């Protein structure tokens, strides 16, 4: 196994804080998302599917079942450790002969030939790339005429920044000391990200416009926004003690590290105690996601 990197660390460990039960719970949620992305792409027997930013293979291995018995899935990722993880999983499942692996990433997908895939799928990949229009042009390039694209992206701009009385879904409108500590944590987190951070510099309309400009047709955008006590895509039921070992994405520190960077140990302990005592019904999540599908004319 190659030395781990931030992408592999997050996908395999800090996304769920190293907790197997939390991992299984997250995979149950992601299973519905995976099926929705694949249903929109509708891969069929004998086709070639390109899984861009394959991660641990959530989309790619499910796509293998849909293109069986002769179809192929190309697993591509910027992380060699994640590609090795997928290679090992393919060998264990006995499907290695129908898998290809490409160490490459957006916006260029260097090494992926033009018009080489019938279907392209991706999940939570574009948000980490600054030039999203270039990404959509590349996805159009690698599809054969008539090929289909299906993707999922979180729309982080919707929930960021949180309202001033919220920190990570928790209510921090209580004692002045709590409000001050929470604001210092939030301010430190904001300072770590530039104004044009790629995870915040777009919304669902930008994705749709970029796909249309790239040449995709038959575009369908499905947008979901939720405000309330929901954790379908978030952390609204995860206790603060468990959140401390979780990172919200591969480019962020864990929640515990965010506290350590902003607060002295006694302050950290006071804020954590306040959040730990909060009943779940007082937490409020603001979450939005987009599903986008389309076709390369042909």
Spell out the residues 6+ positions from residue 97 whose beta carbon is closer than 8 angstroms to its own: none
- 68 and 79 in a single domain? The answer is yes
Q: What is the CATH number of the domain that holds 151?
A: 3.40.50.150
Measured between alpha carbons, how far is residue 205 from residues 163, 194, 219, 288, 291 in Å? 23, 21, 12, 13, 11
Residues 6+ apart with CB under 8 A from 74: 48, 49, 50, 51, 99, 100, 101, 102, 112, 116, 117
User: Is residue 1, in this structure, part of any structural domain at all?
Assistant: no
Same domain? For 146 and 267 the reply is: no
Output the CA angle 31-108-291, nearest 5 degrees. Answer: 30
Question: Residue 230: what pLDDT?
Answer: 60
Is residue 161 helix, strand or coil?
A: coil
Is the pLDDT at 233 greater than 60? The verdict is: no
- Across 104-108, average pLDDT: 98
pLDDT for the residue 220? 98
**16-27 residue pLDDT tens:** 888 888 888 888
- Choose the weakest-confidence range: 110-119, 205-214, 224-233: 224-233
Phi/psi for 239 (5° steps) reads -60, 150
Contact predicate 136/107, CB 8 Å: no
Domain count, the chain: 2
Please name the residues in contact with 180: beta carbons below 8 A apart, sequence gap of 6 or more: none
- What's 50-90 look like in SS3? EEECCCCCHHHHHHHHHHCCCCEEEEEECCHHHHHHHHHHH
DSSP-assigned letter for residue 22: H
Which of 30 and 52 is assigned the larger pLDDT? 52
Residue 2: pLDDT band (50, 70, 90) is: low
Same domain, 149 and 214: yes
pLDDT score, position 195: 62
Give the global pTM: 0.94
pLDDT of 232 reads: 54
Look at residues 79, 66, 80 and name the one whose alpha carbon lies nearest to residue 35.
66
pLDDT digits (tens, 9 = 90+) for 191-222: 887 667 899 999 999 999 999 999 999 999 99
Asked if residue 213 and residue 87 are part of one domain, the reply reads yes
Q: What does the pLDDT read at residue 234?
A: 58
Q: Are 118 and 184 members of one domain?
A: no
Q: 33 lies in which domain range?
A: 6-156+200-229+285-295
- 99/175 same-domain check: no
pLDDT digits (tens, 9 = 90+) for 84-99: 999 999 999 999 999 9
Shared domain check, 275 and 166 = yes
Tell me if 47 is assigned to some domain.
yes
Q: Look at residue 43 in the predicted model and tell me its pLDDT.
A: 98
Beta bridge partners, 123, equal 152
Query: Which region, left, alpha or beta, applies to residue 42 given φ > 0 means left and ψ of -120 to 50 means alpha?
Result: left
Residue 147, CA atoms < 13 Å, CB-side half-sphere = 21
Q: What is the mean pLDDT of residues 249-271?
A: 96
Compute the mean pLDDT over every residue in the chain, rounded to the nearest whole number.
Answer: 93
pLDDT tens for each residue of 266-275: 999 999 999 9
């Amino acid at each position: 196994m190659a030395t781990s990197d931030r992408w592999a660390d997050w996908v395999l460990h800090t996304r769920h804080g190293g907790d197997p039960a939390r991992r299984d719970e997250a995979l149950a949620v992601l299973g519905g998302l995976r099926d929705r992305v694949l249903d929109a792409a509708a891969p069929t027997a004998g086709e070639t599917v390109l899984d861009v930013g394959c991660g641990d293979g959530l989309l790619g291995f499910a796509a293998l079942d849909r293109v069986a018995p002769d179809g192929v899935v190309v697993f591509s990722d910027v992380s060699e450790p994640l590609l090795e993880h997928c290679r090992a999983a393919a060998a264990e499942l006995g499907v290695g002969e129908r898998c290809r692996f490409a160490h490459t990433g957006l916006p260029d997908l260097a090494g992926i030939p033009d018009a080489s895939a019938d279907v392209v799928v991706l999940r939570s990949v574009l948000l980490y790339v600054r030039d999203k229009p270039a990404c959509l042009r590349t996805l159009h390039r690698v599809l054969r005429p008539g090929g289909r694209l299906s993707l999922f992206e979180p729309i982080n701009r919707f929930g960021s920044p949180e309202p001033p009385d919220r920190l990570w879904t928790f209510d921090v409108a209580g004692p002045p000391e709590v409000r001050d500590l929470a604001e210092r944590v939030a301010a430190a987190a904001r300072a770590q990200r530039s104004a044009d951070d790629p995870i915040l510099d777009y919304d669902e309309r930008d994705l749709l416009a970029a796909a249309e400009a790239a040449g995709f047709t038959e575009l369908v955008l499905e947008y979901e926004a939720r405000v309330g006590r929901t954790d379908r895509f978030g952390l609204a039921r995860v206790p603060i003690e468990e959140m401390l070992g979780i990172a919200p994405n591969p480019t962020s520190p864990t929640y515990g590290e965010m506290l350590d960077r902003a607060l002295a140990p006694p302050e950290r302990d006071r804020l954590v105690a306040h959040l730990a005592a909060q009943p779940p019904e007082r937490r409020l999540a603001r979450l939005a996601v987009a599903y986008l599908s389309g076709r390369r004319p042909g």
